[in-house]
Amino acid sequence: MRRVLPLLLLLTLCGAVWAQETLPQPAPCAPTDGAVWTAPNPQFAPELAKGKHYDLVTVQCTSCHSAAYITMQPPMPTAAWAGIVTKMVDTYGAPIDPARQAKIVEYLSQHYTPETIKRAPVPAVGPPPIPLPPGSGSRLYGQNCGGCHQDDGSGSQAFYPPLKTHAANLLKVPGGCTYLAYVVLFGLGGQFQLNGQTYAGAMPPMGSQLSDNEIAAILNFVATAWGNDKRLPKGFRKYTATEIGVARQAGLSASDVMIERAKMSIQH
């Protein structure tokens, strides 16, 4: 009897494996009742700049949040970074004593202010395209743009311009379609005025972590969201991944993109 039980157990396990491999399995997009299907989302893992206090910042900061919280912020003056570090301690209870706070601020001021930031050039070939289901533009916008430009496209006063109305108006200007692609690919650096308001928030380049079809999806969402679709010029055609790939070849800097903006006749 003792020999029979292990044999029966082995046959049961083999049968389960055979059934799993050979019998039809429900597709992830149509799970059976009660089943939960998951798939890993691609993750962009930014790397902090190497330098003095790098180890301290890595331990103290990324133990609570991704390094992207630092690297994807627009370059800020030292005082602004100091305020953020203080907020992390006073508001969120980060266990960082004053001496280490000062070192973290010193590190941030050495690498992430407008004067010191060093961004790697956007590659001429973007990340491999991934299949995007319908509606992906809204999701990608929320993940990559909504934090600054807001979910309703209203922007943030004095820092990030509204995309509601303004994006559609840009698409009416000669060169505006390419300019918007440049902004997402290469970022935007410097101040500009819009409707009497000065905007000083720097736009980080997204071309290193977003594929051409992802950028096209974001731009197509912006072009048609919040009533922008009713303001588009006649004959407007949706962005394609191919067009984004061509724009990527320009290899601009954020300052170059600001120069491109200055060339256009932008009224609002």
Contacts of 210 by beta carbon, 8 Å cutoff, 6+ apart: 126, 127, 140, 144, 184, 218
> How many CB atoms lie under 10 A from the CB of residue 112?
21
One pLDDT digit (tens) per residue for the chain, 268 residues: 444 444 444 444 444 434 444 444 334 334 444 444 343 344 445 678 888 999 999 989 888 887 877 876 767 788 888 988 998 899 889 899 999 999 999 999 888 887 777 666 787 888 888 889 988 999 999 999 998 899 999 998 878 899 999 999 999 999 999 999 999 999 988 788 888 888 877 788 999 999 999 999 999 999 999 999 999 999 999 999 999 999 999 999 888 899 999 888 776 5
**The token pair that represents 48 in the structure block:** 């902090």
C-alpha distance from residue 170 to each of 36, 86, 255, 261, 266 (Å): 44, 39, 19, 10, 7
185, 171, 114, 149 alpha-carbon torsion, rounded to 10°:
-90
Q: Pick the closest to residue 182 from 237, 259, 252 (CA basis).
A: 252
DSSP label of 175: T
Q: Pick the closest to residue 127 from 10, 57, 208, 218 (CA basis).
A: 208
Class of domain 136-263 (CATH, top level): mainly alpha
Domain boundaries, the chain: 54-111, 136-263
Amino acid at 130: I
C-alpha distance from residue 174 to each of 7, 129, 134, 161, 260 (Å): 77, 29, 29, 20, 11
Q: Do domains 54-111 and 136-263 have the same CATH topology?
A: yes
Angle at 262 between CA 261 and CA 268, to 5 degrees: 70
Give the model's pLDDT for residue 46.
Answer: 65
Give the model's pLDDT for residue 72.
Answer: 67
Residue whose pair of structure tokens reads 């299949």 in the numeric block: 131
**The token pair that represents 234 in the structure block:** 């006649």
**The token pair that represents 132 in the structure block:** 């995007």
CA atoms of 103 and 77, how far apart (whole Å): 15
Range list of H helices, 127-231: 136-144, 146-149, 166-172, 176-186, 212-224
Class of domain 54-111 (CATH, top level): mainly alpha
Contacts of 156 by beta carbon, 8 Å cutoff, 6+ apart: 148, 149, 150, 201
CA atoms of 75 and 201, how far apart (whole Å): 8
